[in-house]
Structure 1
Amino acid sequence: MKLAEQYAYVIGGDPDRDTVDLAVLDTRTGATTAHTVGSADGAGYAAMFTWAKEHAPGRRVWALEGTGSFAAGLATFLAEAGEDVVEVGGAKRGRGAKNDKIDAVRAARTALGRDQQANPRARGLREALRVVLTTRHAVLVSRTKAINELKSLVVVAPEYLRAGLRGHNIARQLGIVEQLPTALDATVEHRTTVLALRSVAARIRFLSGQVDELDAELAALLAQHPAGPALLAEPGVGPVVAAQLLVSWSHHGRVRSEAAFAALAGAAPLEVSSGQRTRHRLNRGGDRALNRALHTVAVTRLRCHPESRAYEAKRTAQGKTHRDVRRSLKRALARRLYRRIEAATRTTELSASS
Structure 2
Amino acid sequence: MTMLAEVIDAVIGIDTHRDSHEVEIADVAGRPITTMRISNDSAGFTRLLAAITDLGPEIRAVASVEGSRSYGAGLARALSAAGVQVIECEQPRRAQRRGKGKSDAIDAHLAVLAALRLDADQLTAPRADGDREALRILLVARQEITVMRTAQTNRLRALLLAGDNTDRQAARGSLTQRSLAALAERELPAPAAREQLVRQAEIRRLAPALTQAERELKENRAQLLAIVDDIAPGLTSRYGVGPVSAAQAIVSFSTRADAATRPRSPHSAAPTRSRQAAAKPPGTASTVAATAHSTAPSTPSRSPGYGNCPRTRAYIDRRTAEGKTPREIRRCLKRYIARELYRTLNTAMTA
Maintained 8 Å contact 1:261/1:338: yes
For 2:212 and 2:110, locate their aligned partners in 1 and report how far apart those are by CA, in whole Å: 47
1:344 pairs with 2:345: no
Go from structure 1 to structure 2 and tell me whether the alpha carbon gap of 1:9 and 1:192 turns closer, same or farther (over 3 Å shift). same
Maintained 8 Å contact 1:23/1:101: yes
For residue 142 of structure 1, the aligned residue among 148, 152, 171 is 148
1:295 pairs with 2:301: no
What does residue 203 of structure 2 align with?
Answer: 197
Deviation at 1:133, TM superposition (A): 0.7
What does residue 187 of structure 1 align with?
Answer: 193
Deviation at 1:175, TM superposition (A): 3.1
Q: How many residues align?
A: 324
SS in 1 for 2:293: helix
Go from structure 1 to structure 2 and tell me whether the alpha carbon gap of 1:213 and 1:99 turns closer, same or farther (over 3 Å shift). same
Deviation at 1:263, TM superposition (A): 2.4
What does residue 259 of structure 1 align with?
Answer: 276
1:77 pairs with 2:97: no
What does residue 169 of structure 1 align with?
Answer: 174
For 1:4 and 1:132, locate their aligned partners in 2 and report how far apart those are by CA, in whole Å: 37
What does residue 94 of structure 1 align with?
Answer: 98
Deviation at 1:344, TM superposition (A): 1.5
Go from structure 1 to structure 2 and tell me whether the alpha carbon gap of 1:59 and 1:163 turns closer, same or farther (over 3 Å shift). closer
Deviation at 1:56, TM superposition (A): 5.7
SS in 2 for 1:304: coil
Structure 1 stretches of 5 or more lacking a match? Answer: 269-287, 349-354
What does residue 247 of structure 1 align with?
Answer: 251
Maintained 8 Å contact 1:25/1:33: yes
Deviation at 1:151, TM superposition (A): 0.7
Structure 1 length as normaliser, TM-score? 0.84
Moved more, 175-184 or 133-142: 175-184
* CA deviation map 1:72-109 (0-9, x unaligned): 11111111222111121111243533222222122111
For 1:216 and 1:140, locate their aligned partners in 2 and report how far apart those are by CA, in whole Å: 16
Go from structure 1 to structure 2 and tell me whether the alpha carbon gap of 1:160 and 1:302 turns closer, same or farther (over 3 Å shift). closer
For 1:187 and 1:236, locate their aligned partners in 2 and report how far apart those are by CA, in whole Å: 51
Maintained 8 Å contact 1:267/1:334: yes
Which letter does structure 2 place at the counterpart of 1:256?
A: R
For 1:168 and 1:26, locate their aligned partners in 2 and report how far apart those are by CA, in whole Å: 65
Structural mapping, 1:26-45, within 5 Å = 26-27=27-28, 29-45=29-45
What does residue 308 of structure 1 align with?
Answer: 312
Go from structure 1 to structure 2 and tell me whether the alpha carbon gap of 1:83 and 1:265 turns closer, same or farther (over 3 Å shift). closer
Deviation at 1:10, TM superposition (A): 0.8
For 2:7 and 2:168, locate their aligned partners in 1 and report how far apart those are by CA, in whole Å: 74
For 2:53 and 2:288, locate their aligned partners in 1 and report how far apart those are by CA, in whole Å: 38
What does residue 152 of structure 1 align with?
Answer: 158
For 2:207 and 2:56, locate their aligned partners in 1 and report how far apart those are by CA, in whole Å: 60
Moved more, 99-108 or 124-133: 99-108
* CA deviation map 1:118-148 (0-9, x unaligned): 2121111111001101110110111011111
1:319 pairs with 2:319: no
* CA deviation map 1:247-266 (0-9, x unaligned): 00143256422122112457
Structure 2 stretches of 5 or more lacking a match? Answer: 261-270
Counting aligned pairs with the same residue, the percent is 34
